[in-house]
Structure 1
Amino acid sequence: MLPLCLAVIPWGILCGSLAIQNGFTALETQAMSLLVFAGSAQLVAIELIAGNTPLLTILFTTFIISSRHFLYGLAVRHKVIDQPLSWRLPVSFVLTDELFAFSHHPKAYRTKIRLIYALSAGFSFYIAWNLWTFIGIVAGTMLPDLTHLGLDFAIAATFIALVIPGVKSLASLVTVIVAGISATLFKSTGFELWLVSSALLAMSAGYFTARITAKKERNL
């Protein structure tokens, strides 16, 4: 998890500084990272709030952006369903993109030791995110607009690093390609549900590819 904690330094600094430069107080900015803990949703929400966007629009937009976490929850549900709620709640809070990428081991979350391991990894990222946000708050009061430095590319770079190692089959390759193309096309047209739609389309393509591949293997 440590490399990923370091990889989001530009992302966290951008989030903290952007909030300060849009009129948020230092307390409000830090509280957002402490309570929301969702980088892309925070960045979008900051700009929407600064633009006096209606509350319902802000809630709907951040809901759509964060909807992928519902899929994460479904994916690990069978591993934690037998655990007490006192364990499942903190796991759900720290189940970020980064932790989910490390959740595919068959025995993940199965035992108390593995739960402690997962929570340690998840909360280490939580601490790092809030630390980088704090640095961004300080930088936001001392430095000019950091958005022109291209720090937002850290978002794309982090997800590329998470996705590429998981491409180990034709089905996963098709999923990634369809997701990338459809997300680009949907977003360029201004389609508000671009994230959910591209995810569903990519998963469907990957699912049918896996079924076709499995059928061909059975016929050999």
Structure 2
Amino acid sequence: MAPLATGIAAWGLMTGVAMVKSGMSVGEALAMTFLVYAGSSQLAAIPLIVAGAPAWVIFATAFCVNLRFVVFSLHLRPYLMHLPRWRRLANGYLTADMSYALFTRRFPTPGTTPQQHREQEAYLSGNYCVTWCAWMIASVIGIALGNLIPAAWGLGFAGVLCLVGVLCALANTALRRLAVLVAGSASVAAYALPLKLNIVVAIAAAVLLCSVLEKRDPRLAAGEPA
């Protein structure tokens, strides 16, 4: 996770700056950083908060933007169901895109023994620690320097590049490359939908199509020739 921390930090710095630039107080920005801990949702919610949108619109938008974590949670469920509920809740709060991506690439199947469970949780916790620290430290710095760093610098672009790198590394089978193509196309086609619902459409389209194809030929999921 350490090589990816730079992109995470750049994204966090930009988010911290954006919160202050939007007119939020330092206390409000810090509270949002530590409680929400979801860069995409924070950036989606900020203009709605500034515009005085109803609370239900802000929550619905954040929910739609973060729907991908429902998919992450469903995938991680068999890995974590042996843990007490409070630890599963902690994992839910700390899960991030890149920690999830690296974990599932390292451990394609859940552990079956206590030793394997400990190994997987240790790897996941280490990724969480690096991700959380990089994000929080950079966000706090961004909040502190919000009036000094121009928003036009586009610091979030480094975070986008980091995510693209992870995506390219994970798209290593025909089915996964198809999922990327379908999700990207659906997201662009449905861009005009309100409340970032194009993201929901993209997730649903990719998951449904790939699920059907995988059921017809399970070898596709493993990258074997059909």
TM-score (norm 2): 0.86
Structure 2: gaps of 5 or more residues: none
Structure 1: gaps of 5 or more residues: none
Q: Could you tell me which residue of structure 1 aligns to residue 193 of structure 2?
A: 190
Q: Could you tell me which residue of structure 2 aligns to residue 163 of structure 1?
A: 167
- Return closer, same or farther for 1:163/1:52 CA change in 2, 3 Å cut-off: same
| 2:24 pairs with 1:21 | no
- The amino acid that maps onto 1:190 is L
TM-score (norm 1): 0.88
| Larger mean Cα displacement after TM superposition, 207-216 or 170-179 | 207-216
Measure the CA separation in 1 of the matches of 2:117 and 2:218.
32
Count of aligned residue pairs for this structure pair: 216
Deviation of the 1:142 alpha carbon: 2.0
Measure the CA separation in 1 of the matches of 2:187 and 2:21.
29
Measure the CA separation in 2 of the matches of 1:114 and 1:79.
8
- Secondary structure in 1 matching 2:103: coil
- The amino acid that maps onto 1:40 is S
- Any conservation in 2 of the 1:76–1:103 contact (CA below 8 Å)? no
Q: Could you tell me which residue of structure 2 aligns to residue 125 of structure 1?
A: 131
Q: Could you tell me which residue of structure 2 aligns to residue 72 of structure 1?
A: 72
Q: Could you tell me which residue of structure 2 aligns to residue 153 of structure 1?
A: 157
Deviations 1:21-69 (Å, cap 9, x if unpaired)? 1111222212211111000101111221111111111011001011111
Counterpart among 204, 207, 213 of residue 209 in structure 1: 213
Deviation of the 1:83 alpha carbon: 1.8
Measure the CA separation in 2 of the matches of 1:55 and 1:85.
29
| 2:5 pairs with 1:2 | no
- Any conservation in 1 of the 2:8–2:131 contact (CA below 8 Å)? no
Measure the CA separation in 1 of the matches of 2:205 and 2:159.
22
Measure the CA separation in 1 of the matches of 2:165 and 2:110.
23
CA RMSD of superposed structures (Å):
2.4
Deviations 1:67-121 (Å, cap 9, x if unpaired)? 1111100001011112222321221111111111022212469523432331232
- Return closer, same or farther for 1:215/1:69 CA change in 2, 3 Å cut-off: closer
Deviation of the 1:214 alpha carbon: 4.4
Q: Could you tell me which residue of structure 2 aligns to residue 98 of structure 1?
A: 98
| 2:179 pairs with 1:175 | yes
Identity of aligned residues (%): 24
